[in-house]
Amino acid sequence: MNAAHTDTMADATATTATRCEPPLKLVTVSVGEQRIGIAIDKVRDVFMAPVIAAVPLAPPHVAGLVNLRGKIVTVLSLRAVMGYAPDPAAQTVIGLEWHGEAYGLLVDGVGEVIDVAADGLEPNPPNLDGRWSALSAGIRRLQDGLLVQLDTMKLFQPPAGAVLS
Amino acid sequence: MDEILRDFVVETTENIDLVDAELVRFEQEPGNREIVAQIFRLVHTVKGTCGFLGLSRLEALAHAAETMIGRLRTGAPATHETVSLVLEAIDRIKFIVAEIDRTAAEPGGDDAALIVALERAADPEPAKTQPDHPERALQDAPGPDHAPAVAAAEADSASQAIVSGIDLKRDTIRVAVSTLEHLMTMVSELVLTRNQLLDVSRRIEQPDYAVPLQRLSQVAGELQDGVMKTRMQPIGHAWATLPRLVRDLCQDLGKEITLEAEGAETEIDRQLLDLIKDPVTHMIRNAADHGIETPAERLAAGKPRRGRITLSATQEGGYIKLRLADDGRGLDLARIRRKGLALGLISEAELDSLSDGQAARLVFSPGFSTAETITSISGRGIGMDIVRANIERAGGAIDLRSSPGQGTTLVMKIPLTLAIAAALIVSSGGQRFALPQRAVVEVVRPRGGDARLDMLNGAAVLRLRQTLLPVSSLDTLLGLAPSAGFEALEHKFIVICQFENHVYGLAVDAVLRTEEIVVKPVSQPLHDIPVYSGTTILGDGTVIMILDANGIGATIDTLPDSDIGHATAKLHAPRDLAESATPLLVFKAGDDGFKAVPLGLVTRLEEVDAAAIERADGQALLQYRGRLMPLVPANDAVAPRATGIQPLLVFTRGTHLAGVLVDKIVDIVEDRLDIEPGGARPGYLGTAIVRGRATDIVDIVTLLPFLDESPPATGGQAGKPTVLLADDNDFFRALLAPVLKAAGFRVHLAESGAEALRLLAGHRCDALVIDLHMPGLSGREVAERLKSDGRHASLRIVGLSERGGVDQGLRGVAGFDDIIGKFDRQGLVASLSDLATGTGLAA
């Protein structure tokens, strides 16, 4: 993955960014039609998980467990979190860490790493689906559409949990 | 925090812990220079280092403490006050260091008062101390060996500290725990990779690889052991603070207690070390607060003035056995019983049958705390239930014994390591799971013999020897399959699990193997699922869940839609609920009337194709499981069918096998058996009302005499040992008397406890076989009376129980030599067999 996605919009924001704060790098992933950005400093790795061991009785957003080089990773399904039907073919996992435990976020696909301005985040529009707004740090306007920036911490915190269940 | 500061904090904390333990010894042996020197070194090092690190508050305090301890070191007497002062100074240093650890800076505050006190103690009027201790002055004064050391002490102490520091640490290095954890992870992965390679090499024969692979395998194994060893620490590390704790407790409580520790060098996984620290501390508090009496009380009871708490650790197999004993007053069992009753932990009915051991264990029940007033010492909101929970969470077990006036002993069994455990790998619902072996009692197939499946109130139960266990299918519990019917369960393996208070059968599709698994904790989103205790990676790289035997037990007990919980409750219910309830197999044979046999005698129910029945010499036979089984009609009115389905009751005993032909199997019911003696009808024990219907109880023994065959009895007629069989239930008397007779005993019968006592007074008996639960005088009461009466010292007393495991606790207490299940005829004969051999009966 190279961090080379630049277009005029990104250029413009990057220029602004140099004035205020250093630009932010986001890993873009997709779930259904929606593009999502995850701050790159939250992402430990990106890996393919052809086999995910399901855990009976687990909450619906837990896709299962994966053995990643001897480490057990708890994989959460972003599709399930967002209320989409599960996609058995999905195997792209974004590695995250929370409280010292290894987590993975199962997504439909992963795109480029983009540079955005640290202050270019807009508040969630009021009509945003509750499931999205519960996890969203805010919305970014890109030239080719809107991007929801994921607040990964909210995946693990009670408010998100309440939405999940 | 900067690295030098961090090192300082870590090292000082460790040193303080060491010194803490020594200080108490110092108070007991004030003449011990070695200990003073050690304390002095600590304080000196702290003082020296904090000047360098710019920690001025700590420096001032350490300086004052050093001066005072220096005086002790040069021979000033250690009084109670000076020791307390030193302790206070060390505590303050500890506090400041802890704050530095937390905030990377010295906390604000003032130690002026303490410093003044230390200075005053360091510089008393010499005239006052010396005459008080003339013998010490004499002791210390000459010492040609000591003199140079004392003289050089002040000047030399810094270098001394450094030298001894190096001495201690020459062959050890400090490694961050996270480094070890990482190593452990990598080794686990190496072992998994090796397992994969071995798997491959088994499938593809490549002789060239065999030798290096074997070597790799061996090295990986040794590496794993080695890394495991780095996690081990002496258990004494968890005890370092205990002498100090006991000392402080003595002062607060006005008691005198000696703490003795043995086996501090026993090694245990450091993760477990942390887990047992709090429970041990709590139990010491308890022993000091509730166990040990005040000196006055002890003297009045004829005990030494000073109480004693003994803590010992020994390794036994893969476990550490930790024993904590006090010589105090013991538990107040009467009060515990009252409290248990008040809290609803036991019923009035159970109160009588509760043994002392069982009563003592009530303190482990949730919410139980024997102290009626909560003291600052042990009433800190955590009780023995929490202690037990902590120990069990660590995979251990705890038990206690207490004798009035003698003291209380707690025994804990803790696994050496949490990281690796032996587990049974089972499969259910298409997935594999690990079941920790420590919870597994045995694995059975419910195929007759000792283990049979029954339905009880619509729930599956396993009749295993004398006990009735709830059975649940793992796939159903985990939501992987709909509720399994009786038929489906019969084809499964049943793993008998026992953990804490839960005993149950867990039905699985297959039991694959046992494996040493590396236990990893479950992640946060899975925490709330009670049936898992961890996760692990199998040799083939698959991630599987480790089942929590305790959590599953609790789930089974509370299953909302099934009667299993109810059935279990019924098993444990007091006698007035389950009284004499006997599972019966009801069938029809020959006429329209209902007939029944105790289900416990039936091995299996079969429905076979009548065409398969063969005949030889007028005897009906059936090829059955590779053997030829004789078929016997239930009565003269029954004949083998020529066509259609023939229902059969299969009975086995040892190598004997027979089928009883019936017309129809009606039901399995559990009901009280009130048999009205059936006149002289041969083949029947009598008639009982079962589920409101008059039912003939078939005497299956007259039909199949082999059911009563027992090992041939020895001993002549004259020497026949005599057994008194006391049971209020005609059915059981009728069932057991022939068994005992066949085993070579002369049998007397009694219908009640009172009658048994009367007969025993007039007859000479070698053994009493008595129903535990009888109206009027119960078996337990009879046994207790007999044992307290010296005339019956040689009488063997065997209790008959319908409640299996529940009553096993009576064995050895309450006068019972043995407890046997009512249907366990072989067990009964075996229990009495040594009487029947004839030896020792002459008298």
Please indicate, yes or no, whether residues B566 and B594 belong to a single structural domain of this protein.
no
Compare B115 and A12 and report the one with higher pLDDT: B115
Is residue A156 less than 8 Å (CB to CB) from chain B?
Answer: yes
Tell whether B843 is covered by a domain: no
**Within a 13 Å sphere around the CA of B144, how many CA atoms are in the beta-carbon half?**
0
Same domain, B669 and B801: no
Here the tokens at position B362 are: 């009530």
pLDDT digits (tens, 9 = 90+) for A45-60: 999 998 899 999 999 8
Q: Do residues B88 and B202 both lie within one domain? A: no
Residue to mutate among B181, B188, B523, B532, with most A CBs inside 10 A, is B523
| Digitized pLDDT (tens) for each residue of chain A, 165 residues in all | 444 444 444 444 444 444 556 788 999 999 988 899 999 999 999 999 988 999 999 998 999 999 887 788 999 999 998 888 888 888 999 999 987 789 999 999 999 899 988 888 888 888 888 888 888 889 998 888 889 999 988 888 644 333 343
- State the Cα–Cα distance between residues B468 and B781, nearest whole angstrom: 26
Q: Phi/psi class of residue B146: alpha, beta or left (left: φ > 0; alpha: ψ in -120 to 50)?
A: alpha
What is the structure's pLDDT at A126? 84
DSSP B675: P
User: Chain A partners of B529 at a C-beta cutoff of 8 Å?
Assistant: 55, 57-58
The CA distance from A154 to the nearest CA of chain B, in Å, is 13
CB-based contact, A56 to chain B, within 8 Å: yes
The half-sphere exposure of B90 on its side-chain side, counting CA atoms within 13 A, is 28
- How high is the pLDDT of residue B716? 39
| Tens-place pLDDT, residues B523-577 | 888 888 889 988 988 877 789 999 988 888 878 766 543 333 333 333 332 222 2
Domain identity same for B449 and B353: no
Q: Which domain holds residue A115?
A: 8-164
Which pLDDT band, with edges at 50, 70 and 90, does B839 fall under? very low
β-strand partners of A46: A94
Rounded to 5°, angle at Cα B339 from B333 and B343: 145
Q: Nearest residue of B to residue A62 by CA position?
A: B525
Cα B788 from chain centroid? Answer: 31
Is residue B463 assigned to a domain?
Answer: yes
More confident residue, B59 or B21: B59
pLDDT in tens, A84-103: 888 888 899 999 998 778 99
- Each residue of B767-794: pLDDT tens digit? 899 888 777 778 888 888 887 776 777 7
Mutate to test the interface with B, among A51, A52, A57, A105 (most CBs of B within 10 A): A57
Query: Do residues B503 and B600 both lie within one domain?
Result: no
Judgement on whether residues B344 and B442 belong to the same structural domain of the protein: no
Of all residues in chain B, the percent with pLDDT exceeding 70 is 80
Nearest to B543 among A65, A98, A156 (CB): A65
Other CB atoms within a 10 A radius of the CB of residue B777 amount to 17
Handedness of CA A36, A39, A40, A45 (dihedral sign): negative
> Is A159 an 8 Å CB contact of chain B?
no
Distance from A34 to chain B by nearest Cα, in Å?
25
Q: What is the CATH number of the domain that holds B9?
A: 1.20.120.160
Whether B842 maps to a domain, the answer reads no
Same-domain pairing of B404 and B285: yes
Q: Give the integer Cα–Cα distance in Å for B101 and B93.
A: 12
How far apart (Å, rounded) are the C-alpha atoms in residues B799 and B499? Answer: 26
Comparing alpha-carbon positions, the chain B residue that sits nearest to A58 is: B526
State yes or no: pLDDT of B237 exceeds 60. Answer: yes
Which of B552, B572, B592 finishes a domain? B572
CATH number where B594 lies: 2.40.50.180
Domain hosting B317: range is: 235-415
Interface contact B523-A103, CB threshold 8 A: yes
| Number of domain units in chain A | 1
CATH at residue B366: 3.30.565.10
Distance from C-alpha of B368 to C-alpha of B187, rounded to nearest angstrom: 44
- For residues B598 and B746, membership in a common domain is answered with no
Residue B595's pLDDT is what? 87
- Residue B220, domain member (yes or no): yes
Report d(CA B446, CA B491) in Å as an integer. Answer: 8
Residues of B with CB under 8 A from a CB of A: 185-186, 188-189, 192, 429, 431, 478-480, 520, 523-526, 529, 531-532, 535, 537, 541-545
Instruction: Give residue for tokens 């990643």.
Output: A68
Q: Is B542's CB within 8 Å of A103's CB?
A: no
**Residue B107, pLDDT above cutoff 90:** no
CATH code for the domain in which residue A101 is found: 2.40.50.180
Alpha-carbon distance B186 to B170, whole Å? 28
Bridge partners (DSSP) of residue A145 are: A142
The 10s digit of each residue's pLDDT in B249-300 is 888 888 999 999 888 888 888 878 877 888 888 888 888 888 899 999 999 9
Largest CA distance in chain B: 118
Residues of B within 8 A of A58 (CB-CB) are 525-526, 529
Identify the closest residue of chain B to A164 by CA–CA distance: B525
* B644 within domain boundaries: yes
Per the document, the length of chain B is 843
Q: What is the pLDDT of residue B738?
A: 72
The answer to whether B693 and B593 are in contact (CB under 8 A) is no
List strands edge to edge, sheet with B818-821: B746-750, B722-726, B767-771, B796-801, B818-821
Query: Cα separation of B679 and B686, whole Å?
Result: 7
CB within 8 Å: B479 and A56: yes
Q: Do A53 and B186 touch (CB under 8 A)?
A: no
CA distance B142 to B656: 92
How many domains does chain B divide into?
6
Cross-chain CB nearest to B543 (options A57, A59, A72):
A72
Find out whether B20 and B14 touch, Cβ atoms under 8 Å.
no
In a shared domain, residues B328 and B470: no
Q: Which residue is listed with tokens 């009888």?
A: B774
